[in-house]
Amino acid sequence: MRNWVSAAHPNQNELTGLQVITWLETCIKEVISLPLPQGTIEIKKLLTNIKNNSISEMVKLGMLMIFIAR
């Protein structure tokens, strides 16, 4: 899509509404609706804990060791 019509690749092509809807459907089917892999969920938890706690607190609570050990 970005190579067909974008400021980075100017040309004379136009996107139709049907093309946009088709790409949206593909995005939903192939990416958005897929379940998150377990590794992604664990990384999200780790990043949330890093944002909300100091590293020393996480080590004391044993939160960080779970991710390092795996």
Range with the poorest average pLDDT among 8-12, 13-17, 39-43: 8-12
Mean pLDDT of the chain: 76
pTM here is 0.43
Task: Report the alpha-carbon distance of residue 16 to residue 61 in Å, rounded.
Answer: 55
Say what percent of the chain tops pLDDT 70: 63
DSSP state of 14: -
DSSP state of 60: H
Residue 17 near residue 25 (C-beta atoms within 8 A): no
Residue 64 near residue 58 (C-beta atoms within 8 A): yes
Question: CA geometry: angle at 32 spanning 31 and 34, to 5°?
Answer: 70
